[in-house]
Amino acid sequence: MSLDVSGGDTVVTSAAVTIDVTKDHPLIKLANALTWAQLMTLVLPDLKRTTLKGCWWTGRRLLV
């Protein structure tokens, strides 16, 4: 393993990062094999019980 230390003293700024993943990657295959709608019907009731008012999304920020 190697470590590239060039630019170590450079100030970090925000920038867009793009990651390309092939369609035969194991995690992509898993994501496509899961029945997400069925999973949500199983998980959502439990999530809604996590707060007194059933607002399980409260306090979460959209990561853009």
Structure tokens at 13: 């700024």
C-alpha distance from residue 10 to each of 4, 14, 15, 17, 22 (Å): 13, 13, 14, 18, 32
CB 35 within 8 A of CB 28: no
Structure tokens at 59: 């306090």
Residues 38, 39, 43: CA angle, nearest 5 degrees: 125
Residue 61's pLDDT is what? 60
Residue 26's pLDDT is what? 94
Residue 35's pLDDT is what? 93
Q: What are phi and psi of 54, to 5 degrees?
A: 75, 20
Q: Please identify every stretch of the chain with a pLDDT value under 70, giving residue numbers as ranges.
A: 1-2, 51-64
pTM for this structure? 0.44
